[in-house]
Amino acid sequence: MNHHLVLGIDIGGSGIKGALVDLGTGDVVGTRFLRDTPPDSTPANVADVVAQVVDHFAERLADGPVGVTFPAIVQHGITLSAANVDQSWIDAPARQILTERLGRPVVLVNDADAAGLAEAKYGAAKGAAGLVVVTTLGTGIGTALIYDGALIPNSELGQIEIDGVRAETRAAASIKTKDALSYDEYVPRLQRYYATLEKLLSPDLFVVGGGISRESDKFLPRLSLRTPIIPAELRNQAGIVGAAWLAANS
């Protein structure tokens, strides 16, 4: 087992957090370092904050890449969308920008893909065979497809159109909060969403993450699906852990 420490950094719409991860166990080691995402969240400004995170851990960092998540499509280091960050990320050479700013190699990955990998390697889907669909219910809906432990990146299944609207605009956890929906009102939206994913993908397992998964007993037992559906285990550290894993394994 590989017990060296790798830095994982999670870029979100409101915060940027980093921690050292023990890849032998998938545990975060020591305390996380957290900064606000700059209000003007351009690539250069975000890279400055990511550099502060790296500086904080610099003494304990081995050579080799750091893993960084981003809440949008990331293909070959280029960010192709920008749901909760400045629009100038669209088509930006984000990996190159970060690598140059940090002076060290960066592996950049979609946030939900990182969370999904972490669940597959260390968490709720550890060792799961076949197709696992990991969903994160948060500001939007992020998704990761994992087949026999391998990630199929950038699935973006929060963006599928259901009943004429993008699914995440009805079923994300942030919508429940914004519209003050009770679980009686919210569960049918989740039912419609997961039943649609089930019909399209015939997964072997659904894993549900995001902050709301802390109270998964209030909604998962009320869903009627053929596919087993279980809460994520790594909670809000999943992105950091998955990014660190990918940094050491790509």
The secondary structure of residue 169, as a DSSP letter, is: H
Strand spans (E) along the chain: 5-11, 15-22, 27-36, 66-70, 74-75, 78-79, 106-110, 131-137, 141-147, 150-152, 161-162, 165-166, 205-209, 229-231
- Considering the complex, state which of residue 99 and residue 110 has its C-beta at the smaller distance from ligand BGC: 110
Between 28 and 137, whose beta carbon lies closer to ligand BGC?
137
What does the alpha-carbon distance between residue 110 and residue 90 come to, in Å, rounded to a whole number?
A: 14
Q: Binding residue for ligand BGC (CB under 6 A) from 168, 193, 206, 243?
A: 168
Selected from 140, 153, 231, 242, the binder of ligand BGC by CB under 6 A is 140
71 binds ligand BGC (CB under 6 A): yes
Closer residue to ligand BGC (CB): 65 or 71: 71
- Point out which span in 98-106, 121-129, 138-146, 232-240 binds ligand BGC (CB under 6 A): 138-146
**Alpha-carbon distance values, 52 to 39, 117, 236 (Å):** 16, 26, 21
Choose the binding region for ligand BGC from 39-47, 153-161, 194-202, 242-250 (rule: CB under 6 A).
Answer: 153-161
Q: Pick the closer one to ligand BGC by CB: 5 or 154.
A: 154
Write down the least CB distance from residue 222 to ligand BGC, Å.
Answer: 23
- Count interface residues toward ligand BGC (CB under 6 A): 16
Do residues 242 and 117 lie in contact, with contact meaning Cβ atoms separated by under 8 Å?
A: yes
Q: Is 116 in the site for ligand BGC (CB under 6 A)?
A: no
**Smaller CB distance to ligand BGC: residue 166 or 222?**
166
Q: Residues near 143 by Cβ (< 8 Å), separated by ≥ 6?
A: 112, 116, 133, 134, 135, 136, 155, 156, 157, 158
What is the rounded distance in angstroms from the CA atom of residue 168 to the CA atom of residue 72?
Answer: 14
CA nearest neighbour of 139 among 180, 178, 96: 178
Q: Quick check: 136 binds ligand BGC (CB under 6 A)? A: yes
Pick the closer one to ligand BGC by CB: 71 or 231. 71
Tokens of 98: 């970060």
Binding footprint of ligand BGC on the chain (CB under 6 A): 71-73, 81, 83, 110-112, 136, 138, 140, 142, 156, 158-159, 168
